[in-house]
């Protein structure tokens, strides 16, 4: 039986990964003494995130061999990326889709970043397997690093060697569509996905992207249902008003952390237009909006077509199609029109719009309302990412 990393060790490793950016730093000395007693770091990994922000090779991950109870295990930790202007993977209009190494559909930007690092992972693991047959690989990451760790774990789990792999993520965004999420669940021996309710990053990209439903749980490191906070995404925020992932994962056992059921938006939701002012800018209402949209598409027979379309298109095209279809649904029947109106009214309140009255249900109006909601959400994500690093 392989030992899992403890929550605090996984969090320390996720935080440690930000030190690899400094090429002059000795990666063997980046960790605290108690971490060095458990991991012998050996190599730095460079990577390229693409987009408009960071399109050059930089230190992105550290690889090492476990000691003590983790003796002979491979341990890989991957950092996130700081967002310093308005364009990168967190910009909704930039979402593209591509096939990943396992053959499923994922976020194209994440896939490109992972592809730039994969040869280095492959070389390290090839040598490691010879010296440590049958041992486990631990993949750790925060934010974008969590997305890349997910792709790394999936690639290892789908490889011919079938190496056992454990995954640990903190504040990671959604990586792919349902096919990827289900395949990833079957390929990874353990998935410890840690989130904060006030962290907006794990909520994007929006449906039809979903998290891997490993055993149907996530580790919720706080119990808040309040609004989103840009500080909640940090591993180790300097402002003590909101505890970061490092502080809230400060446990020696996963059983000591709070768990909750993963949200897969399966329950039918119908939103009453007259009650739209109950909505607010938080994860609960974001999930309600997504569930209400899925309910409408399912009731009217459009859901399957949308999932198929999303696998060959990009995010902006997908939401254009959603707006066009909602306009058709509203035109077809009075009852359906009221459900569309209810969804749109709640979206406007969620977005903090000054006017939340919905009279027109045409395509142009619906697209404007979708844009307002998406802009509000992704502004929160971008603010969180601007503070991600350094920790």
Backbone angles phi, psi at 64, to 5 degrees: -155, 180
**Does 37 fall in a domain?**
yes
CA pair distance 140, 77, nearest whole angstrom: 5
Sheet-wide strand order for 137-142: 39-47, 58-66, 74-78, 137-142, 165-170, 190-195, 217-220, 259-261
**Does 143 fall in a domain?**
yes
Which pLDDT tens digit goes with each residue over 333-383?
A: 888 999 999 999 999 999 999 999 999 999 999 999 999 998 899 888 888
At 85, is the pLDDT very low, low, confident or very high (cuts 50, 70, 90)? very low
If asked whether residues 44 and 170 sit together in one domain, one would say: yes
Counted domains in the chain: 2
Taking 80 as the threshold, does the pLDDT of residue 106 lie above it? yes
The residue among 248, 265, 282 that closes a domain is 265
If asked whether residues 347 and 323 sit together in one domain, one would say: yes
**Does 390 fall in a domain?**
no
If asked whether residues 190 and 294 sit together in one domain, one would say: no
If asked whether residues 225 and 287 sit together in one domain, one would say: no
**pLDDT of amino acid 379:** 87
**What is the extent of the structural domain holding 106?**
7-265
Q: Concatenated DSSP letters for 126-177?
A: HHHHHHSTT--EEEEEETHHHHHHHHHHHHHHHSTT---EEEEEESPPP-B-
169-178, 293-302, 307-316: least confidently modelled range? 307-316
CA pair distance 188, 98, nearest whole angstrom: 21
64: β partners: 41, 75
Can you give the CATH number for the domain in which 124 is found?
A: 3.40.50.1820
If asked whether residues 311 and 294 sit together in one domain, one would say: yes
If asked whether residues 91 and 229 sit together in one domain, one would say: yes
**Does 18 fall in a domain?**
yes
Q: Give the number of other Cβ atoms within 10 Å of residue 371's Cβ.
A: 16
If asked whether residues 260 and 321 sit together in one domain, one would say: no
If asked whether residues 154 and 189 sit together in one domain, one would say: yes
If asked whether residues 261 and 277 sit together in one domain, one would say: no
Cis peptide before 136 (omega within 30 of 0): no
**Does 391 fall in a domain?**
no
If asked whether residues 70 and 209 sit together in one domain, one would say: yes
Output the average pLDDT for the chain.
84
Asked whether the beta carbons of 351 and 379 are under 8 A apart, the reply is no
């Amino acid at each position: 039986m392989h030992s899992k990393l403890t929550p605090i060790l996984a969090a320390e490793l996720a935080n440690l990964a930000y030190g690899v950016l400094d090429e002059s730093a000795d990666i063997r000395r980046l960790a605290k003494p108690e971490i060095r007693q458990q991991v012998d770091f050996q190599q730095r990994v460079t990577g390229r995130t693409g987009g408009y922000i960071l399109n050059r090779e930089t230190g992105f991950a550290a690889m090492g061999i476990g000691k003590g109870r983790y003796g002979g295990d491979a341990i890989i930790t991957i950092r996130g990326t700081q967002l310093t202007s308005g364009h990168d993977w967190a910009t909704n209009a930039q979402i593209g889709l591509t096939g990943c190494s396992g053959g499923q559909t994922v976020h194209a930007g994440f896939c490109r970043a992972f592809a730039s690092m994969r040869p280095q992972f492959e070389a390290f693991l090839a040598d490691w397997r010879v010296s440590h047959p049958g041992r486990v690989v631990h993949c750790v990451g925060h934010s974008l690093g969590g997305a890349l760790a997910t792709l790394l774990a999936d690639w290892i789990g789908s490889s011919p060697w079938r190496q056992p792999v454990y995954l640990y993520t903190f504040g990671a965004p959604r990586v792919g569509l349902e096919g990827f999420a289900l395949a990833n669940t079957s390929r990874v021996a353990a998935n410890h996905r840690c989130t904060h309710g006030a962290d907006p990053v794990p909520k994007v990209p929006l449906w039809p992207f979903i998290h891997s439903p490993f055993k149907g749980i996530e580790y919720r490191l706080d119990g808040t249902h309040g609004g989103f906070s840009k500080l909640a995404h940090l591993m180790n925020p300097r402002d003590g008003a909101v505890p970061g992932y490092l502080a809230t994962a400060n446990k020696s056992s996963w059983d000591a952390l709070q768990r909750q059921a993963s949200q897969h938006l399966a329950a039918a939701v119908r939103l009453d237009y007259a009650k739209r002012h109950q909505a607010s800018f938080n994860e609960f209402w974001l999930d309600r909006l997504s569930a209400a949209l899925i309910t409408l598409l399912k009731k009217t027979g459009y859901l399957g077509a949308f999932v198929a379309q999303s696998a060959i298109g990009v995010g902006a095209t997908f939401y254009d199609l959603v707006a066009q279809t909602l306009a058709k649904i509203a035109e077809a029947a009075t009852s359906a029109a009221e459900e569309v109106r209810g969804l749109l009214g709640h979206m406007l309140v969620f977005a903090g719009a000054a006017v939340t009255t919905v009279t027109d249900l045409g395509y142009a109006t619906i697209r404007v309302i979708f844009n307002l909601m998406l802009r509000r959400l992704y502004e929160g994500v971008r603010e969180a990412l601007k503070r991600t690093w350094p920790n």
